[in-house]
Structure 1
Amino acid sequence: MMLSTLKHHHHVTKHKPNSLFSSILTLFSNNCSSLSPSSSSSFPPPSFAISKTDVADTINTWFTTRHQSQDPLLIRIYNILSSDDDFSAALSALSLPLSETFVLRVLRHGGDDGDILSCLKFFDWAGRQPRFYHTRTTFVAIFRILSCARLRPLVFDFLRDFRSCSFPHRARYHDTLVVGYAIAGKPDIALHLLGRMRFQGLDLDGFGYHILLNSLAENNCYNAFDVIANQICMRGYESHMTNVIVIKHLCKQGRLEEAEAHLNGLVGSGKELHRSELSFLIGVLCESNRFERAVELVSEFGTSLPLENAYGVWIRGLVQGGRLDEALEFFRQKRDSEGFVPCKVRYNILIGRLLRENRLKDVYELLMDMNETCIPPNMVTMNAVLCFFCKLGMVDVALELFNSRSQFGLSPNYMAYKYLILTLCWDGCPKEAYRVLRSSSGTGYFPDRRTFSTLANALCRECKIDEMWDLLDFALERRFMPNSSTYSRFVSALCRAGRVEDGYLMRGDLDKVTARFSYAKMIMGFIKSNRGDIAARLLVEMKEKGYELKRSSYRHVLHCLLHMDNPRTRFFNLLEMMTHGKPHCDIFNSFIDGAMHANKPDLAREVFELMQRNGIMTNASSQILVMKSYFRSRRISDALRFFNDIRHQVVVSTKLYNRMIVGLCKSDKADIALELCFEMLKVGLNPSIECYEVLVQKLCSLKRYYEAVNLVNVYEKAGRRLTSFLGNVLLFHSMISPEVYHSCVDLRREKEGEFLDSSMLTLIIGAFSGCLRVSYSIQELEELIAKCFPVDIYTYNLLMRKLTHHDMDKACELFDRMCQRGLEPNRWTYGLMAHGFSNHGRKDEAKRWVHEMLKKGFNPPENTRNVI
């Protein structure tokens, strides 16, 4: 896979005014709140209106300035290498002066720009040209490029091929191997190969020894380091590079005092001090929070260095030590007072760390500074700008720069690709993010697990099925195994897109954590496609794999099977497969439940009887489900027969009695329900609160108030407190009929001594029905009710209904008091208030209440719609 075609940039446009560059962030001034407040700078006011295209064009113009200082031949070579055409013929047509020096120039150019693929292509092409042979130096150059790009496996591939072949050219075979493995971070192999060389009477030169010594220092091979350092001294290879590596070695061991002594020894012996010796020690001191000593060293040895180098060393040390604010302050102070302009490397170090900490204002200021001081950006700067626009939320500008990368030779690095892909996903453009990833394939970039998962999730969310298939293939080609949650989301996306068969084929890639969710999605997908047979197969697979099965899964699958051909056969075949081995009562109950929801009560009864025949103990849940299936199908007589059959077989549980009473009430069989309720009490069972509530409600709806009040009395005699539901039912019906109050009085008179002292409740019912004249205010009445049963929103609605007939101001006070007590007004509350104001001729206030009701998301009741 190749990079996108690079077109040669024949001319460089003139700089647009700096005012345009200064206006970049003003275009998105609303983003300022997300920027770090640590920078004292503020964005300049816009001198004229600009568009995002202007921003991208301005950055493009700045980026193209880097070509002005570069060799046009090198630019031409890399344009050819980056094209999709036959680059070999095009390079041959240039008649390049191939030599070790020229090849190194070309590789260095590509390495600085991070164009790894083009470097590899040129290296391969040059090695196949007649009369040119790669040398150890050219091999080392390509090894370093690959190692810096974190592509060490490619270095190992090179070395493996190099060891297995014979080369009729001038490359020093053993030297190349030793140096190659040292650069690749394998100093143990390099030492072994050096030993073989020495056995054959061969030896490394000074260059090779220093690369090996540096590798030993980097990989903390302390003993071997001392041996090789002695060898370098013995052979007279000691140089400036030796000093740098020794100081690095001492610093990595934490021997900082010895490193300082070594520096003092160099200065004392009159040797010229380079920046590298000091910068490494300063960086380690800053990382160790020994900033005072670092300052002293900069002052002490800085005079031995050029001004720019000394300042640069200090800035780098502060950044490495995490003292970013001090580094910026030092930079600004020296810039303003001494005109100090650091090299682009120092700018890049500062910009990179500021980007990492999301200090975008400071990044912007440094980019402005680079532009105004005419420092052409290098590849690191260009990638930082790409990341900057992504972090700023201007992903369209970043994408425009990415699409125009061929104009200025931009080769995005790992971070630029990552930020661009992530930002596009977060911006709702997963397809564009995927295109960016595919365009990066030739560079060797592959996202980390988080970036890959974010892209995959975004594609799945948008149901980009084809792109998702391609992404999975792309990952597997690179031996990257997506996690199970990615497959799970993809299966879900396939089901949403109606491609459940494809999801079914992928189920083997799911682990136990995510598989249950994905299986449920596939089951629903096949059910929507009327493929209950495959849905049933998935249900069996879930059971075999030990996944938790919810009753709703059985319900959906069975409903689908029972609406296919041969429903009974399919139903019992699935039951047999699910109960194979160790039949469990819960599985049978799930099938009874499925038959109930499919309105197949006979099938539910048949499963119940199958349990009994096979000696599987039925429980109360099994009995209740069968009975509910009869009630659901309005087969009340069958429900009663089933109940009586159970009564003759075993002692009926309280749960079954309760469910029977509730079912009979809902089926308008109040007499039988009442009879069963008293039967329960007779045998010493206590009906549930729900039984009393539905019975009292049903009796009141039939205007059988005497029986309802009597049942409430029985309920209270059992030592239970009146519930809000029971109290509200009595109050509501007392407003409809005075018979509720009369029933209370008659029952108390008839059963004097047995009737509980409910005079307070009787009083409240009398007040609500209008049978009693009381002097209580509505607030006092509210307090009396609270002593009888807990007051809820329904109780307040009843009080409000009473108030709205004669006093809307008091009704408003009651509304406020209700809200203060934490109760949330409902649709009926607002309807009562609006209707009350309307009846009192206060139309404007009525409309305000209706509008408030609409704002809360409630639909106005019929009697208030004429108010709008």
Structure 2
Amino acid sequence: MVTRLSTKFMNICISSMCKSKQLLKAEVVLIDAIKLGVLPDTVTYNTLVDAYYRFVSIDAGYTVLNRMKEAGINPNVVSYNSVMSGAVRKCLLSKPLQLFDEMLQSGIHPDVWSYNILIHCLFRLGRPDEGYRVFKDIRHGFVPYVLTYNAMINGLCKARRLADARRVLREFCDYGYEPNAITYTTVMKCCFRCGRLEQGLEILSEMRRKGYTFDGFAYCTVVAALVKTGRIEEVDEIAGKMTSNGLVPDLASYNTMINLFCRQGKFDEALKLVDEIEKQGLKCDQYTHTIIIHGLCKIGNFVGAEKHLDYMKSLGFGFNLVAFNCMLDCLGKAGHIDQAVKVFDSTEVKDSFTYTILVHNLCRAKKFLFASKLLVACLKSGWCVYCMCLCMVWLYPHRIARLRIVSRLHVN
């Protein structure tokens, strides 16, 4: 006699096959079980739906839903949630909306997971008002969970609707829920992105009062905001808190802080952080060195910047074209156009940005004839279009010079 235990055993076998990506063997197990009189259930097909959308395609997962119906087993909310979730992971954001409507037409009641997926998709599709309306409508059926509130707050923050996000956060608390670290960190980051630094720091203080800890990236976000406002002493305090919580800043965090110090002209502070990176046993990457070179150029230390480019080569990084372009641009903007030309001629490695930077600065210096020659070289290198447009903007009042450049380009 076939028992329920037999179906359960079959589901375990199919699940194991699916987890190891052996979908053909899972199908063989299903066929053999049916031949022996063991009938599949909703769990069987849901397992296959999940596996097919993960390892094959969304369409393949949806096909299993149809097979499920043909077998006389009605898909449930878990079935549809699996396919909807898979569509989101594949960035097919309109598909979950269609599946959600199909689920409603089939008489299947969505759950919290369904609504979270729907809200997430609407925000990602640039339809925040619809996402917010869905959020308000679902409260008539059931009270949203913490996950729903977090999804809503995250969507509003990405849409830079800080006021709405903070209103949802207050409502969150009014319902008796306790926001978690993810909730607070999401709103805090949004405050910083929207330039509401004080509001972001207020949320940080509230997190501290409630005893929450947050990850290294969140610390880095706070540090960046403090550096922007010149509150360096508080940066040290945050770094101390970070260390006491067992978190060590990663290289991305250090690069962010170095970049902010360089942009503010606090080059000594930036170099201290470089020393600290080495003490922590980390190694600077190309981005770190590019920040330093750009910082040296900003303070007019072009000799130091050039030496640092050579130093990068000695470390095995090779030629850094991004750093080279930064130095070229800073030389031109500082009025050292002749030196910029020498630096340009010193390397054979160039890209469209290299040509564009020098053309732009030559035009600024009113060296239009030289700019025209460079445009011809740019044309031969295949980088012409943007440089030409840029040059024409500068030469608009200078009709004769503009005609000379056009004739040169036609000749070549």
Aligned to 1:486: 291
Match of 2:266 in 1: 463
CA apart distance, 1:508: 0.9
CA contact (8 A) 1:213 1:225 kept: yes
The correspondence for 2:69, drawn from 250, 255, 264, is 264
Residues 413 and 277 (structure 1), Cα distance of their counterparts in 2 relative to 1, 3 Å cut: farther
1:51-90 equivalences under 5 Å are none
Change beyond 3 A, Cα 1:458–1:388: closer
1:332 pairs with 2:136: yes
Would you say 1:354 and 2:354 are equivalent positions? Answer: no
> CA contact under 8 A between 1:351 and 1:384: conserved in structure 2?
yes
Distance in 1 between residues matched to 2:239 and 2:42, nearest whole Å: 43
Find the aligned partners of 2:17 and 2:282 in 1 and give their Cα distance. Answer: 32
Q: Is residue 2:165 matched to residue 1:367? A: no
Q: Which runs of 5+ in 1 are unaligned?
A: 1-204, 522-538, 549-868
Contact 1:425 1:433 (C-alpha < 8 Å) held by counterparts: yes
For the 8 Å contact 1:424–1:432, the answer to whether it is kept is yes
CA distance in 1, matches of 2:101, 2:188: 34
State the one-letter code of the partner of 1:296: E
Letter of the 2:294 counterpart: R
Alignment match, 2:104: 298
Per-residue Cα deviation, 1:217-269 (whole angstroms, up to 9, x for no partner): xxxx5xx3333565699799x98766444213333413254143255368x44
Aligned to 1:446: 250
Inter-partner Cα distance in structure 2 for 1:377 and 1:232? 44
Deviation of 1:348 (Å): 0.9
Which runs of structure 2 are paired with 1:621-640 in the superposition (5 Å)?
Answer: none
Tell me the residue number matched to 1:427.
229
1:477 maps to 281
- Aligned mates of 2:41, 2:247 — CA distance in 1: 37
Tell me, what secondary structure is at the counterpart of 1:477? coil
Contact 2:227 2:235 survives alignment (8 Å): yes
Change (3 A) 1:334 1:440: same
Summarize deviations over 1:371-397 as a string: whole Å, max 9, x none: 221111122212223223323433244
Task: Name 2:346's counterpart in structure 1.
Answer: 546
| Counterparts of residues 249-328 of structure 1 (less than 5 Å) | 249-252=51-54, 253-254=57-58, 255-262=60-67, 264=69, 268-269=72-73, 273=76, 275-283=77-85, 287=92, 289-290=94-95, 291-303=97-109, 311=115, 314-315=118-119, 318-319=122-123, 323-328=127-132
CA distance in structure 2 between the partners assigned to 1:494 and 1:405 by the alignment: 39
Q: Which structure has the higher relative contact order (CA within 8 Å, separation 6+)? A: 1
**Cα–Cα, structure 1 residues 241 and 392, in superposed 2: closer, same or farther, change >3 Å?**
farther
Decide whether aligned partners of structure 1 residues 479 and 374 sit closer, same or farther in structure 2, where only a CA change above 3 A counts: same
In 2, are the aligned partners of 1:247 and 1:277 still within 8 Å (CA)? Answer: yes
Alpha-carbon contact 1:384-1:416 (below 8 Å) kept: no
Whether the aligned pair in 2 keeps the contact of 1:285 and 1:293 (CA below 8 Å) is no
Deviation at 1:505, TM superposition (A): 7.5
2:17 and 2:25 in contact (8 A); partners too: no
SS at match of 2:108: helix
Q: Say whether the 8 Å CA contact 2:150–2:182 is kept in structure 1.
A: yes
Distance 1:423 1:517 in 2: 25
What letter corresponds to residue 289 of structure 1 in structure 2? S
| Aligned partner letter, 1:249 | A
Aligned twin of 1:694 = none
Q: Is the 8 A contact 2:181 2:212 kept in 1?
A: yes
Q: Assess if the C-alpha contact under 8 Å between 1:250 and 1:258 holds in 2.
A: no
Q: Is the 8 A contact 1:494 1:503 kept in 2?
A: no
- Does residue 18 of structure 2 align to residue 213 of structure 1? yes
C-alpha distance in 2, partners of 1:438/1:350?
Answer: 33
Which of 508, 527, 532 is equivalent to 2:311?
A: 508
Structure 1 residue 345: deviation in Å?
0.5
CA distance in 1 between partners of 2:149 and 2:108 (Å):
20
Aligned-pair CA distance for 1:403: 5.9
State the partner residue of 1:155.
Answer: none
CA distance in 1, matches of 2:156, 2:327: 42
Seen in structure 2, the aligned counterparts of structure 1 residues 493 and 269 have a Cα distance that, compared at 3 Å, is closer
- Residues 502/437 of structure 1: CA separation in 2 closer, same or farther (3 Å cut): farther
TM-score under structure 1 length normalisation: 0.29
Asked if the contact 2:18–2:51 (Cα under 8 Å) also holds between the matched residues in 1, the reply is: no
Q: State the SS of the aligned residue for 2:106.
A: helix
Structure 2 residue runs of 5 or longer lacking an equivalent are 1-9, 314-318, 331-338, 349-412
CA spacing shift, 1:231–1:425, aligned 2, 3 Å = farther
Task: Check whether the contact 2:14–2:44 (CA below 8 A) recurs between aligned residues.
Answer: no
What residue is the counterpart of 1:156 in the other structure? none
Q: 1:422 to 1:466 in 2, by over 3 A?
A: closer
SS in 1 for 2:94: coil
User: Any conservation in 1 of the 2:61–2:83 contact (CA below 8 Å)?
Assistant: yes
Give CA-to-partner distance per residue, 1:157-208, whole Å, 9 cap, x none: xxxxxxxxxxxxxxxxxxxxxxxxxxxxxxxxxxxxxxxxxxxxxxxx9889
Report the Cα offset of residue 326 of structure 1: 2.0
Residue-by-residue CA offset, 1:772-828 (whole Å, 9 max, x unaligned) = xxxxxxxxxxxxxxxxxxxxxxxxxxxxxxxxxxxxxxxxxxxxxxxxxxxxxxxxx
1:244/1:276 contact within 8 Å kept: yes
Structure 1 residue aligned with 2:373: none
Contact 2:11–2:44 under 8 Å retained in 1: no
Query: Do 1:424 and 1:430's aligned partners in 2 also have CA atoms closer than 8 Å?
Result: yes
- Does 2:30 match 1:225? no
Q: What code does the residue aligned with 1:325 have?
A: D
Letter in 2 for 1:365: R
Q: 1:317 to 1:505 in 2, by over 3 A?
A: closer
Q: Is contact 1:283-1:318 (8 Å) kept?
A: no
Offset of residue 473 of structure 1: 4.4
Q: Is the 8 A contact 2:172 2:178 kept in 1?
A: yes
Structure-2 change in CA distance of 1:390 and 1:283 (3 Å): same
Cα 1:409–1:225 shift into 2, 3 Å:
farther
Within 1, Cα distance between the matches of 2:234 and 2:24?
54
SS of match in other structure, 1:302 = coil
If you compute each CA radius of gyration, which structure gives the higher value, 1 or 2? 1
Alpha-carbon spacing, 1:403–1:343, altered in 2? closer, same or farther (3 Å): closer
Contact 1:256/1:281 (<8 A) preserved: yes
Alpha carbons of structure 1 residues 414 and 346: separation in structure 2 relative to 1, 3 Å: farther
Instruction: Give distance in 2, aligned partners of 1:230 and 1:300.
Output: 30
Instruction: Encode CA deviations 1:493-548: one digit per residue, 9 max, x unaligned.
Output: 8887xxx99996885127565469879x9xxxxxxxxxxxxxxxxx9xx99x9379
Alignment of 1:237-248 (within 5 A): 243-248=45-50
Q: How far 1:488 sits from its partner (Å)? A: 0.9
CA–CA separation in structure 1 for the residues paired with 2:247 and 2:70: 46
| Count of residue pairs the alignment pairs up | 305
Contact 1:431 1:464 in 2 (8 A): no
Distance 1:411 1:241 in 2: 38
Alpha-carbon distance in 2 for matches of 1:426, 1:507: 31
Residues 1:512 and 1:277: Cα distance change in structure 2 (over 3 Å): closer
Q: Where does residue 212 of structure 2 map in the other structure?
A: 410
Q: 1:206 to 1:402 in 2, by over 3 A?
A: farther
Counterparts of 1:581-660 in structure 2, within 5 Å, are: none
Answer whether contact 2:227 2:260 (CA < 8 A) is retained.
yes
